[in-house]
Amino acid sequence: MSSDPTQPRLVLRDVAKAFGPVLALRSGNLTVHGGSIHALVGENGAGKSTLVKIVAGVHRRDAGEMLLDGEPADFATTAESKAAGVAVIYQEPTLFPDLSVTENIFMGRQPLASGRRIDRAAMYAEARSLFDRLGVAIDVRRPALGLSIADQQIIEIAKAISLDARVLIMDEPTAALSGVEVERLFAVARSLRDEGRALVFISHRFDEVFDLCDTVTVMRDGEYVGTRTVAETDTDEIVGLMVGREVGELFPKTPATIGAPVLEVEGLNRTGVFHDVSFEVRAGEIVGLAGLVGAGRSEIARAVFGVDRYDSGSVRLAGTAVPAHDPRAAIKAGMAFIPEDRRKQGLVIDSSVSRNVAGVIRAGLAKAGVLTARAENRAAAPWAGRLEVKTNALDMNAATMSGGNQQKVVIAKWLATDPKLLIIDEPTRGIDVGTKAEVHRLLSELAGRGMAILMISSELPEVLGMADRVLVVCEGRITAELDRAEATPEAVMHAATHSVEAAR
């Protein structure tokens, strides 16, 4: 590829970008070499995504310098950055659900036969060889619809390889992956690095950063803080650079008095999804639902809350039966549910913060059927204040906020209903260290006030640190119930993979 191995593939110098009055990026600096995996870390709102989008040609920088293989570069469109050999894999993969996996890889540059007609046979063959090279088995003709996020990312990577990208940027690719899927992704990333490509890897998981990357660049509040080689640094230093202060206890669950059972689930079944699920959650207790991605944890939670149906079994809240498949009844009975995919399920993205917060209690706020912005703001203010949501005003659009602040808005939205039970799915997915601790402190405080909390999490330290009791789900069944004292990483992982191994 490049003749001079010391020449950096990609250099960004003092890059700045503002959206209206909001300065998203003050001075972004990044130097990435070929044959290297470079981690980019920073709290939410540190400007990482903005930086990536400037490199990708989604946004245009206001100031600063960008060099690609020593040549000045300025991309006005994503097509230009692609042509220059830059591929970006976004946090949420962007595929065309109706089109085949193969068309998704080659869209816009399909191999052509005579008469400028798409050569489908060649296209399928090339897709097949790409997947072979990546060591994955995906039907090249199937539509992208229904693929797991892990598989969608593999498609994105296949796309990047077929473009022969010199620079590959991955924006939090592992946020939604299970352990095995992460390993597969890393193996692919390492082989791309060994081919001499430059990789940029954005992640909030330090174990991954230290496992995969060789260099780390830290950003804070839209500014470059520093670059370290992985061999010469450690987690404490990186965290220190990120937050500008030492982080104390990461998972501060304080003991709370455990009261009477709030949620009682008995014999819940749904064919092909989960089987014979029984458990209870008591007042003041945080119960962790652990397991691999795809084990059926979220599905159980959705069924309990009534979003999805179940075939048999019963759900009782504070002794009263909750009707199946009726979220309104569940809310009325005192349940709150914060889903995993907050962009799609929990937040009205194109709406103001106060409207989001007030959304679920609207009926109670309206006077004579009329809901004023003032009433919404009045109801939202105390909650947003308590959660320290960093928005200039409650009128700000939720779509423009960082992931951590969005999560806080969603939590505020449900706390306004004053629930007895809070079900929260992946509470800190894609959230930075500082905000993570805030979310954990908040959950702990809620439990202390007698709320029962059912928390689904793929992050083992989070489950072990927060939960009073851990239920491990494996292939739709609860395979273990562990007390805080018994819950060791080994015990949980064993139960989470147990039936997989038994089936072998």
Partner 1 sequence: MNAVKHDETPSAGEALLVEPSALSPGRRALTTVLRSRELSIFLVLVAVVVVATAKNSGFLFSSDGWRNFLLNPSILVLLAVGQAVVIITRNVDLSVGSVLAFTAYLTGRLFIDQPGIPLVVVVLLAVLAGAVLGLVNGVLVAYGKVPALVITLGTLYIYRGVVLTWAGSDRINRGDTPADFQALGTKTVLTIPVLTIVALVVLALVGYYLHTARGGRELYAIGSDPDAAVLYGLKVRQRVLAAFVLSGALAGLAGVLFAARYGAVTSSTGSGIELQAVAAVVIGGVAIFGGSGTVWGAAIGAFLLVTINRALPTIGIDPFWQGAVVGALILGAIVLDRVLAARQANKLAEARDA
Confirm or reject binding of residue 96 to partner 1 (CB under 8 A).
Answer: yes
The amino acid that residue 167 corresponds to is V
The residue from 22, 63, 79, 373 that contacts partner 1 (CB under 8 A) is 79
Query: Which residue shows structure tokens 């999804």?
Result: 273
State the virtual CA torsion across 16, 20, 21, 24 in degrees, nearest 10: -40
Least CB distance to partner 1 at residue 340 (A)? 17
User: In this complex, which beta carbon is closest to partner 1, that of residue 39 or of residue 495?
Assistant: 495
Could you give the CA distance from residue 389 to residue 72 in angstroms, rounded to a whole number? 39
Could you give the CA distance from residue 379 to residue 201 in angstroms, rounded to a whole number? 40
Stretch that binds partner 1, among 66-74, 75-83, 318-326, 331-339 (CB under 8 A): 75-83
**CA dist 422 to 79, 417, 460, Å?**
44, 11, 20
The residue from 23, 58, 349, 379 that contacts partner 1 (CB under 8 A) is 58
Show the binding pattern over residues 169-208: x = contacts partner 1 (CB under 8 A), - = does not. Answer: -----------xx-xx------------------------
Interstrand relation of 421-425 and 452-456 (parallel, antiparallel or unpaired): parallel
Show the binding pattern over residues 292-311: x = contacts partner 1 (CB under 8 A), - = does not. Answer: --x-----------------
User: In this complex, which beta carbon is closest to partner 1, that of residue 172 or of residue 285?
Assistant: 172
Q: Is 412 helix (H, G, I), strand (E, B) or coil?
A: helix
Strands (E), 52-94: 63-68, 71-72, 86-89
Could you give the CA distance from residue 187 to residue 192 in angstroms, rounded to a whole number? 9
Could you give the CA distance from residue 343 to residue 8 in angstroms, rounded to a whole number? 36
The amino acid that residue 382 corresponds to is P
The residue from 7, 19, 94, 488 that contacts partner 1 (CB under 8 A) is 94
Q: Is 39 helix (H, G, I), strand (E, B) or coil?
A: strand
Least CB distance to partner 1 at residue 137 (A)? 5
Least CB distance to partner 1 at residue 113 (A)? 9
Stretch that binds partner 1, among 103-111, 201-209, 368-376, 383-391 (CB under 8 A): 103-111
Cβ-Cβ contacts under 8 Å for 149 (sequence gap 6 or more): 92, 93, 176, 177
Stretch that binds partner 1, among 11-19, 100-108, 263-271, 418-426 (CB under 8 A): 100-108
Query: Which residue shows structure tokens 């962790």?
Result: 288
Least CB distance to partner 1 at residue 239 (A)? 30
Confirm or reject binding of residue 344 to partner 1 (CB under 8 A).
Answer: no
User: In this complex, which beta carbon is closest to partner 1, that of residue 19 or of residue 96?
Assistant: 96
List 421's β-bridge partners, or say none.
335, 452
Residue 410 burial (C-beta neighbours within 10 Å; 0-12, 13-18, 19+): buried
Stretch that binds partner 1, among 50-58, 309-317, 358-366, 430-438 (CB under 8 A): 50-58
The residue from 10, 138, 324, 331 that contacts partner 1 (CB under 8 A) is 138
Per 3-state DSSP, what percentage of the chain is helix, strand, and coil (rounded to 5)?
Answer: 40, 25, 35
Least CB distance to partner 1 at residue 110 (A)? 6
Least CB distance to partner 1 at residue 93 (A)? 9
Confirm or reject binding of residue 150 to partner 1 (CB under 8 A).
Answer: yes
Confirm or reject binding of residue 396 to partner 1 (CB under 8 A).
Answer: no
Stretch that binds partner 1, among 109-117, 224-232, 359-367, 389-397 (CB under 8 A): 109-117
Cβ-Cβ contacts under 8 Å for 447 (sequence gap 6 or more): 253, 256, 284, 285, 286, 453
- The number of residues that bind partner 1 (CB under 8 A) is 48
Interstrand relation of 421-425 and 335-338 (parallel, antiparallel or unpaired): parallel
Confirm or reject binding of residue 371 to partner 1 (CB under 8 A).
Answer: no
Could you give the CA distance from residue 486 to residue 482 in angstroms, rounded to a whole number? 6
Stretch that binds partner 1, among 130-138, 375-383, 397-405, 416-424 (CB under 8 A): 130-138
361: how many CB neighbours lie within 10 A of its CB? 18
Cβ-Cβ contacts under 8 Å for 108 (sequence gap 6 or more): none
Confirm or reject binding of residue 432 to partner 1 (CB under 8 A).
Answer: no
Stretch that binds partner 1, among 88-96, 167-175, 257-265, 275-283 (CB under 8 A): 88-96
Question: Which is it for the CA torsion 440, 442, 448, 452, positive or negative?
Answer: negative
The residue from 116, 245, 374, 449 that contacts partner 1 (CB under 8 A) is 116
Stretch that binds partner 1, among 92-100, 306-314, 406-414, 460-468 (CB under 8 A): 92-100
- Residues lying near partner 1 in the complex (CB under 8 A): 56-58, 77-82, 90, 94-99, 103, 107-110, 112, 116-118, 136-143, 145-148, 150-151, 180-181, 183-184, 272, 294, 497, 500, 504
